[in-house]
Amino acid sequence: MKTIEELNKIREDALGKMNLRKESQGIRVVVGMATCGISAGARPVLTALLEEVNKRKLEHVTVSQTGCIGLCRLEPIVEVYEPGKEKVTYVDMTATKARRVVLEHIVNGNVVNEYTIGAYQK
Amino acid sequence: MNLYRAHVLVCGGTGCHSSNSDKIIERMEEKIKEKELDKEIKVIKTGCFGLCESGPNMVVYPEGIFYNHVKVSDVDEIVEEHFFKGRPVKRLLYKEVQEENNIKSVNDVNFYKKQTRVALRNCGVIDPENIEEYIAYNGYQALAKAVTEMTPLEVIQVVKDSGLRGRGGAGFPTGRKWEEAYKYKSDKKYIVCNADEGDPGAFMDRSILEGDPHSVLEAMALAGYAVGSDQGFIYVRAEYPIAVQRLQTAIDQAKEYGVLGKNIFGTDFSFDIELRLGAGAFVCGEASALMESIEGRRGMPRNKPPRTAHKGLWQQPTVLNNVETFANIPIIFQKGPEWFRSIGTEKSPGTKVFALGGKIVNTGLVEIPMGTTLREIIFDIGGGIPNGKEFKAVQTGGPSGGCIPKEYLDTPVDFESLSRLGSIMGSGGMIVMDEDNCMVDIAKFFLDFTVEESCGKCTPCRIGTKRMSEILDRITSGKGEPGDIEKLEELSKVITDSALCGLGQTASNPIISTLKYFRNEYESHIFEKTCPAGNCRKLLSFVIVEEKCKGCGLCARNCPASAISGAKAKPHHIDKEKCIKCGACIERCPFNAIIKK
């Protein structure tokens, strides 16, 4: 490494791999991964979310798992937490739906209403 | 492609390592691979978290879930329940993080809330064996900027402006030291890092070397650029094998990435660093003795003047700084000297790392802004005294320091305030004592250490400390005589005034300070032949309490000196002349009928 530019490039790349450790100021996407979730197929949803987030290099987004959210019959459930906004709960998710959520909600800021719990109960 | 959804940070410092943290990591990686989670969960070995009492420590990000006292046998459960099924293992959680419906992040725990981690900023956060993680958190930015955009004098000015004072114990202004070495003209100058850390109970430097070695390397290179040196040495004690290995790895990686070696960042500044191992002598932590040791001679201090900044290693201008001092340098450049000044007090800016030990709940490493009171450190961060015992005194500065009693608990900690109380800041060892500690015995403990470690070059230290040690030995064995205290006081003054180096000059501090605040304990030992704390064995009598004794005879059967006698089912009796005070009878008695007084 011979220049400051090279140093900065290494820094950017390395930071990207470590952003999980910072207190997240950005968006948290949480997938229910208890027995109910896993048996309903939450793992492919989780994998799809991770792939999309990484593909688009969304550095302020962390994807993690949680236990049973409570609405077992509606699993797989994905919750999106954004500071300053209300939590959005997506139910009955699939890998395909998850990819759409990443594109429309996380990247473009438009909640995909038809997948939310509000829409389901109607 | 990076698909990780969790980072598991496991402490790999010496403390947790000796509790098998490396085997924990090994098993965890194995199990994660078994469950095919190896592309989602990354396990990273980091440096010291500081909460050594709760080790082996582990934190799972992004939530910051803090597990403590982890054993190798717990790993399978953690992987199955937490990583695979999403249910954190409650019984392993650090007790404070468990709230009703929530698990607090490790960063919100009381232990860390009052701390300001500056020198320890990367410990427990990055993988010290991966230079890229150091770079991710702005590593080597300071060096890059300095060698390409600043002049050596500008670099020195930043350090002077920050007000940083040496963290090895003396508190000499670092900027001034660098400026001194800069001024002396020579074609060869040296930068030396003092990583000998001789104080018993101190492990601040060890944790920095094991957890963030690059911060020291970057700082040494900065110093080299500032004063005009191209060669650095890190003198590290051989008793720190993990630190030695991490340092060597860091040096090799730094050379690989071009931040050490020839033509750094394309300029004509070159800097190399080599390791030199100590061999177990406390005196080699003294600057001039350390340099004698590097030069291949017996570690014995030199006469000063000339100071080492003028004629140091191989009689060339040398900057010698402590590990913690160096660890502060890169961040001072990154965030600016005014930021550093905003922490701490006016005469002592910045923070200090303390190694809390002794009778305290949260043994470990803490870093606090200067000006924090002793009470906050010991009770708020340290968790207070275990087993409901009363605080008696706190010893700071190791064998060169003094004891501070409870009247002064609200003293804000900084260089001047501790000196005023008769102690010193020292390198940061802080040993807490409770009602069961005997202050005379404590003074004897530290003095015996100093006697062992005296190099022998100057008479006051070689002979004086030995005489003081003999007096203390007599006092604690019940053979103290009137006049002993006065003899100790006189010897202390003479040795302090005439010893050649810091070891001798400060050897009397434990005695002077315990005499100042606990003179009554000395007097009890000498005149009444008792130890008020119940500690000094030779002054104690082991006595069987008749009302409690059932005459079972267990004590008599186990006494190695056959000092106990008595009829069956009748209260027994200990013969004081025969009793060797081993305590076997107390251990055996099922009725707690034997006491020491």
The answer to whether the Cβ–Cβ distance between A14 and B136 falls below 8 Å is yes
Q: How large a percentage of chain B has pLDDT more than 90?
A: 75
Crossing angle of helices B213-227 and B323-335, rounded to 10°: 80
| Average pLDDT of the residues in B215-238 | 97
Residue A111 has pLDDT above 70, yes or no: yes
CA distance B321 to B201: 20
CA B359 → CA B375, B388, B389, B432, B434, distances in Å? 14, 11, 9, 5, 6
Poorest-confidence range of B82-91, B201-210, B267-276?
B82-91
Cα–Cα–Cα angle for A117, A120, A121, rounded to 5 degrees: 90
Q: State the virtual CA torsion across B109, B115, B120, B124 in degrees, nearest 10.
A: 0
The answer to whether the Cβ–Cβ distance between B86 and A67 falls below 8 Å is yes
The confidence band for B1, taking pLDDT boundaries of 50, 70 and 90, is very low
The answer to whether the Cβ–Cβ distance between B266 and A2 falls below 8 Å is yes
> B518 φ, ψ to 5°?
-135, 35
**What local confidence, expressed as pLDDT, does residue A61 receive?**
86
| Average pLDDT of the residues in B260-281 | 95
Complete domains list, chain A, with CATH:
21-121 (3.40.30.10)
pLDDT tens column, B130-183: 999 999 999 999 999 999 999 999 999 999 999 999 999 889 999 999 999 999
DSSP-assigned letters across all residues of B245-300: HHHHHHHHHHHHTTSSBSSGGGSS--BEEEEEE--S-GGGGSHHHHHHHHTTS---
> Do residues B391 and B437 make contact, with C-beta atoms less than 8 angstroms apart?
no
Q: Record the tokens describing residue B134, joined without a space.
A: 């150091």
| Facing residue for A10 by CB, picked from B1, B9, B132 | B132
pLDDT tens column, B360-402: 998 889 999 999 999 999 999 999 999 999 999 999 999 999 9
Helix (H, G, I), strand (E, B) or coil at B242: helix
Best residue of B5, B40, B140 to probe chain A, by most A CBs closer than 10 Å: B5
* Mean pLDDT score across all residues of chain B: 92
ipTM, 2 dp: 0.77
Helix (H, G, I), strand (E, B) or coil at A65: strand
> Do residues B437 and B549 make contact, with C-beta atoms less than 8 angstroms apart?
no
> Mind telling me how many Å the CA of A120 is from chain B's nearest CA?
25
| Average pLDDT of the residues in B288-294 | 96
Complete domains list, chain B, with CATH:
6-108 (3.40.30.10), 131-341 (3.40.50.11540), 351-434 (3.10.20.600), 439-528 (1.20.1440.230), 541-596 (3.30.70.20)
CA distance B399 to B282: 10
Q: Give contacts of A56 with chain B, Cβ < 8 Å.
A: none
CA distance B95 to B295: 51
Q: How large a percentage of chain B has pLDDT more than 70?
A: 99
**This prediction's pTM:** 0.84
pLDDT tens column, B517-547: 999 999 999 998 889 998 898 888 888 998 8
**What local confidence, expressed as pLDDT, does residue B38 receive?**
86
The answer to whether the Cβ–Cβ distance between A20 and B141 falls below 8 Å is no
pLDDT tens column, B465-488: 999 999 999 999 989 999 999 999
Question: Among all residues of chain A, which has the CA nearest to that of B1?
Answer: A54
Q: Which residue has the higher pLDDT, B501 or A70?
A: B501
